Structure 1
Amino acid sequence: MSDQIRTEIAEGVCTVRFTRPEKKNALTREMYAGLAEAIERTEADDSIRCLLITGSEDVFCAGNDIADFRSRPAESGPRPSRRVYQGLARLDKPVVAAVQGLAIGIGFTMLLHADLVYAAPEARFRMPFVDLGVVPELGSSLLVPWIVGRHRAAELMFLGEFFDAAAAERLGFVNRIIPQAELLPNAMATARALARKPVESLRATKRLLRPDQPKLLARMEEELEIFAERLASAETQAIMAKVLKPKA
């Protein structure tokens, strides 16, 4: 497990913390692997009843680490990122998220798979996929319109602008806004309360609440295929090179 992501299990809750605040918790391959392991353990371990995902200091997750993303070698077997995608989409135990600050790209789209999302007033959200020359992932091209409607989804995804916690709550991405100092304690209390609920009833209710899973998984595969095509394109490579170019 990477030291940039920490996992703790207590009182029926598996808590995952991104601990790379100096890089705004941007995800590396090792961090994906750590998150995948936590999701898979939550699924397999009957003593774990709930997954809690949070960031550190004043940031949740600013998306992929682009330098790491471009330098990842070809891998045999399931990629850690794919394990995270599939794990979140298939997990039938409740997921709670506590968002301290920035939630960008994958840092935002993973929240779409949480059942309860709490955010600090300072939290800011963004889907910059078009600006980076790629397409939405993690089923977000299906889930965002499902939550907010097609026109609002197009505005959020085409323009890729930041929106604040109040807007996220109004649009239905966030359950409640909680002061920063109280955010994690409240999220943890909720996760522990869920861990005490009747297990099978909670799982069945979650399955009923979320959208058609085969359709969601198929859309995720479609997104990944187009994402890979876009990533290899000259347009996207030029954008990535510009993002990584050292500032004078």
Structure 2
Amino acid sequence: MSELVESVVEAGICRIILNRPEKKNALTSAMYDRMAMLLRAADSDDAVRVVQLGSSGSDFCAGNDIADFMAQSRQDAATIEEPAGLRFLDTLIGFGKPIVAAVGGAAIGIGTTMLLHCDIVVASADAVFGLPFVKLGLVPEAASSLLLPQLMGYQRAAELLLLGDTFNASTAYELRLVNRVVPADDLGITAARYAAQLAARPPEALRLSRQLLRSNLAEVRSAKSREAAVFLQRLSSPEAAAGLNAFLSRSRSG
């Protein structure tokens, strides 16, 4: 049986592949934990110089698997355990090596916000992004309430986060969320080219330069924690219950 998150290390590149195409690579708690484990292993492996994130199938990541998310949230609340998604974000935010992401098809919720912690993002022309947190009765996560205004200005960030409508790859490029937009057939090749170029750079100079570029790391961690506290409170709200149940009903009927 194939892993829902696969990994291979070759020529200094650790490729982490979301492998649940029949569900548009929607993330379960087990997938979050495996991604965090693979990132920790890559960070501590001197043979790995860069991580390349990608996916199987036509979609990058449709966000959380809502049924798993709701069930796991109830369990986490009962055991007072930090949700797997937050553990993954802690690992991603603190990761010390460059990350290249290849994004095709749907990139929704965490499928978009995780890109804020990548260094180079290549999107296919058919990519669709979205931040539907408010629509679900929730709030932003992954420090997006800090990083998106810094990236594109307050008003544009507010439009994306408060309305939660989807937007296309050309808009994502205009908003500086992605580095390049390429035809779908060129997505993997282009991302691999970037990863190979980074892997060929002097590793210590690369690490230190990335560290300097991310000098606001403490602020990012603080924003992520503030968001998480409100997010977890919202999970027990009537608005979130209605939003999540409505989404689940639509997905089951669709």
Report the counterpart of residue 247 of structure 1 in structure 2. Answer: 253
What is the match of residue 48 of structure 2?
48
Does the CA-based 8 Å contact 1:20-1:26 persist in structure 2?
yes
Moved more, 71-80 or 192-201: 71-80
Inter-partner Cα distance in structure 1 for 2:52 and 2:195: 7
* Partner deviation per Cα, 1:114-138 (whole Å, 9 max, x = no partner): 0000010000100000000001101
Q: Which residue of 2 aligns with 1:32?
A: 32
Q: For residue 23 of structure 1, what is the aligned residue in structure 2? A: 23
Assess, with a 3 A threshold, how the Cα gap between structure 1 residues 158 and 211 changes in structure 2: closer, same or farther: farther
Letter in 2 for 1:49: R
Q: For the residues of structure 1 that align with 2:243 and 2:104, how far apart are their CA atoms?
A: 28
* Structure 1, 133-142 or 233-242: larger mean CA deviation: 233-242
- The residue type paired with residue 137 of structure 1 is E
Q: Find 2:189's aligned residue among 185, 190, 193.
A: 185
Question: Does 1:98 find its partner at 2:123?
Answer: no
Aligned length: 248
- Distance in 1, Cα, partners of 2:150 & 2:18: 28
Query: The residue matched to 2:136 in structure 1 has which SS?
Result: coil
Superimposed CA distance per residue, residues 48-79 of structure 1 (whole angstroms, 9 cap, x where no aligned partner): 10011112221000100010001112357654
- Give me the TM-score of the superposition, normalised by structure 2: 0.93
Helix, strand or coil at the partner of 1:131: helix
1:2 and 1:31 in contact (8 A); partners too: no
Instruction: Return 5+ residue gaps in structure 1 as ranges.
Output: none
Give the match's secondary structure for 1:26.
Answer: coil
Distance across 2 between alignment mates of 1:176 and 1:199: 24
Q: Which runs of 5+ in 2 are unaligned?
A: none
CA distance in 1, matches of 2:111, 2:54: 10
State the TM-score, normalized to the length of structure 1.
Answer: 0.95
2:9 aligned partner: 9
Q: Whose helix proportion is higher, 1 or 2?
A: 2
Secondary structure of the 1:59 match is: coil
For 2:119, give the aligned amino acid. D
Give the C-alpha shift of residue 80 in structure 1: 2.9
1:142-200 CA-to-partner distances (Å, cap 9, x unmatched) read 01001001110001111111111111111101111111111112211211221121111
Query: How far apart in 2 are the matches of 1:243 and 1:97?
Result: 27
Q: Per-residue CA shift, 1:81-130, capped at 9, x if unaligned?
A: 22211111111210000001110000000001000000100001000000
CA distance in 2, matches of 1:154, 1:206: 28
Q: Is the 8 A contact 2:124 2:184 kept in 1?
A: yes
Where do residues 223-242 of structure 1 align in structure 2 (5 Å cutoff)? 223-242=227-246
Among candidates 114, 117, 125, match of residue 113 of structure 1: 117
Distance 1:211 1:13 in 2: 25
RMSD over equivalenced CA pairs, Å: 1.6
Letter in 1 for 2:112: F
User: What per-residue deviation string (whole Å, max 9, x for no partner) do you get for residues 6-40 of structure 1?
Assistant: 11111111111111111111000111011111111
Q: For residue 230 of structure 1, report the CA deviation from its aligned partner.
A: 0.5
Moved more, 70-79 or 115-124: 70-79
Counterpart of 1:225, as a letter, is A
1:243 & 1:166 partners in 2: Cα distance? 27
Equivalent residue for 2:152? Answer: 148
Shift in alpha-carbon separation, 1:70–1:228, aligned structure 2, 3 A: same
Indicate how the Cα distance of structure 1 residues 122 and 211 shifts in structure 2: closer, same or farther if over 3 A, else same: farther
Quick check: 1:166 aligned with 2:170? yes
